[in-house]
Structure 1
Amino acid sequence: MIQQFADWLIYAVCGLDASTHLGAALNFFVYDTIKIVILLFFISILMGIINAYFPIERLRVYLTTHKMYGAQYLLASIFGAITPFCSCSSIPLFIGFVKGGIPLGVTFAFLITSPLVNEVAVAMFLGSFGLQVTLVYVVSGILLGVLGGIILGRMNLYRFLSPWVLQLQAQSMAQSEQWESGRISFRERLPRIAKDACGIVRGVLLYIIIGIAVGAIIHGYVPEGFFEQYMSANHWYAVPLSVILAVPMYANAAGILPVIQVFVSKGIPLGTAIAFMMAVVGLSFPEATMLKKVMTWRLIAIFFGTISLFIILSGYLFNLFL
């Protein structure tokens, strides 16, 4: 319905052509802005309800006081794999985790894997490249989340969270203690939960608009075939260059997979193409812009740098063994 509304508004009401750069960019902007704002609002309400009846504080305490031998990172990564979100769409749930005080490394494991692996991309990968390549893609995506979460979790990065999200954490914990006492009914809680959700949306709305605008410009105006000329050469730097070139892009795994098929058919090594896809769906300028409300630029740079390094290493390994 959101896509139909965007098509109606841009193509019918505004009279723009879908084949033009401006039409494609504005359609992308309207669709993604509405989708992410709605997603953020309802996930914030859901996290508020969960925090009221199943306080995340308890989960946070459990995860930080019990030895799970890395299982928490694997569970977060698998949860990310089964959620059908792109990098920007997964940020609302990421904010909910951070707000609830879930350990930062576990939260990063979800944020890394969520855009990389989803059921639609797996089905398309299976049909395009076969079972072996699909298994490599899925396992490597989950492992990237686990390893990235473990490494980032050990860097003591809480000091690089923004004051805004730290304030949300404090408010969430205070509410959790009050609601756990049982003095407030659900009917009394719901308006407060909805008000908090609206506050979160207002807090990140500007960042969402700026981030999606950047993605829309890239989506509508980057010429077809622009990246192929830099990825096709058989040089040692093809994989890291592909990752660098992919960061300005913005798409989900299912949306970029047809492009990867074209790359491979034109002789680009499969590992280089997969590394490009992982960088497109896992790292992007729009994602960085939205994360700025939650993190400082230093933390964003650490996050992007760590995952970029993992993706580059994966690309070299894929080229070696596939």
Structure 2
Amino acid sequence: MIETSLNVRSRTTDFAHQLWTKEKVWLFTASLLLALFALSPTLGFTTVSFALQNLLNVAPFLALSVGIAAYAGATGADGLIARAFTGSPAVMILIAAAAGGLSPFCSCGVIPLIAALLVMGVPLSAVMAFWLASPVMDPSMFLLTTGTLGFEFAVAKTITALCLGVFGGFVVHMVTRAGGLTDPLSEGVGNGGCGGAKVRTEQPVVWKFWSDDARVAKFWREGIKTTLFLAKWLTLAFILESLMLAWLPADLVARTLGGTGIAPIGIATLVGVPAYLNGYAALPLVGGLMEQGMAPGAGMAFLVAGGVSSLPAAIAVWALVKRQVFFLYLGLALTGSFASGLLFQLWTTF
């Protein structure tokens, strides 16, 4: 009897652990809403209304971005990235930066692919170009950025992604030519796991995937998976934005991150890495901050810095590469983010 009770308790604990691991964002969101309704029903209703309205506003962009991501996965078009890493160093850097701007990888998701590329012997300069550009922008992110922050901001962020990749790639190329950054991977790092399979084994692209049942199934599977992923982060983001608008004094934001000086951009760059939630979740939060007085350049710097190197990604990179490569990666990310914010601020001023 005691053994049966212990088994039931063990299974219950395992189920609770798995539920929390897989659905912790939804559970946190639900807990936050329950707490709001318990403490202030009026604020709870206002928050839910705000989140639902913004989800409806962004729904067309969400649907289009999900369709693009699912189509890329079903056709195998995401594997085209393997072809970016051939040719002369300058050509590789330029193509790798462009491929990074089109690839749907976040700062954490790109790391297994980076490991695979480095193990294969791809030059660090080309890898760095892809590494820096990929988390900043992709077609889905472009559409959602347009829907939340406007077309001009989306175009500027796309240009930033490409320039950041090219800048980082050529800096690494010059350091490498001088004899530095040899053997960049840490001891014991593997070949990138399943994330590197698309690079190691080039697969044909089937653009008319609907004639293949397996690819159709993958399309729907990827579509549902991406929809749930975006929905949970956007829901949390809009809830946090609503609370931010309700509780964060607008004059404090305007004083700290407003204006045209370099201080707000520098602060946003440094805060972007630890405060970043997720590329999709950060968009409405930055939109809310900009409505309260955040400088456009500071918003750009925050999004780029957090996108390239969020705290979880930085921890993973620390374990992946040697220390000099890590600090160079972090320095390039912060320098490029600050420069992008400064240039965007100057652009919006004139």
Query: What TM-score, normalized by structure 2, do the two folds share?
Result: 0.56
> Comparing 77-86 with 123-132, which one deviates more in the overlay?
123-132
CA RMSD of aligned residues (A): 3.8
* Residue matched to 1:192: none
Deviation, structure 1 residue 127:
2.6
Cα deviation per residue 1:58-104 (whole Å; 9 max; x = unaligned)?
Answer: x89x84xx536x22112112222222221011111111111111110
User: Contact 1:11–1:18 at 8 Å: present in 2 too?
Assistant: no
Contact 1:115 / 1:252 at 8 angstroms: preserved in 2? no
Unaligned runs of 5+ in 1: 22-45, 51-55, 170-219
Q: Which consecutive aligned stretches of 4+ in structure 1 deviate over 6 angstroms post-superposition?
A: 11-14
Rounded Cα–Cα distance in structure 2 between residues aligned with 1:97 and 1:272: 33
2:156 to 133, 136, 141: 136
Specify which of 88, 95, 110 is matched with residue 130 of structure 2: 110
C-alpha spacing 1:104/1:291, structure 2 compared with 1 (3 Å): same
Going from structure 1 to structure 2, the CA distance change for 1:12 and 1:72 (only over 3 Å counts) comes to closer
Which residue number corresponds to residue 217 of structure 1? none
Deviation at 1:235, TM superposition (A): 4.0
Following superposition, the deviation at residue 297 of structure 1 comes to 2.7
Q: Would the aligned equivalents of 2:115 and 2:191 in 1 still touch at CA under 8 Å?
A: no
The alignment status of 1:239 with 2:265, answered yes or no, reads yes
- The alignment partner of 2:274 has SS state of coil
Q: CA deviation at 1:161?
A: 2.9
Alignment partner of 1:110: what SS? helix
Amino acid at match of 2:129: A
2:100 aligns with one of 68, 80, 83: 80
Give me the whole-angstrom Cα distance separating, in 1, the residues matched to 2:125 and 2:326.
14
AA aligned opposite 1:301: F
Alpha-carbon spacing, 1:153–1:9, altered in 2? closer, same or farther (3 Å): same
Q: CA deviation at 1:254?
A: 2.0
Deviations along 1:110-131, one digit per CA (max 9) or x if unpaired, are 1111110022221122234443
* Partner in structure 1 of residue 315 of structure 2: 289
Percent identity reads: 22
Separation of aligned partners in 1, 2:262 and 2:280: 28
Change in 2 beyond 3 A, CA 1:144/1:5:
same
Write the distance in 2 (CA, Å) between the matches of 1:263 and 1:299: 34
- Counterpart of 2:325 in structure 1 is 299
Once residues 10 and 268 of structure 1 are traced to their aligned partners in structure 2, the CA distance between those partners, rounded to angstroms, is: 30
Distance 1:85 1:268 in 2: 27
Tell me the number of residue pairs that the alignment of Structure 1 and Structure 2 aligns. Answer: 230
Letter of the structure 2 residue corresponding to residue 125 of structure 1: T
Contact map agreement 2:101 2:136 (CA 8 A) in 1:
yes
Match status 1:272 vs 2:298: yes
Partner of 1:182: none
Structure 2 residue 294 is matched with structure 1 residue 259: no
Q: Which of 83, 86, 90 is residue 110 of structure 2 equivalent to? A: 90
Contact 1:250–1:286 (CA<8 Å) still a contact in 2? Answer: no
After TM superposition, the score normalised by the length of structure 1 is 0.61
Structure with max Cα Rg: 2
SS at match of 1:154: helix
Q: Structure 2: give runs of 5+ residues left out of the alignment.
A: 1-17, 37-75, 193-239
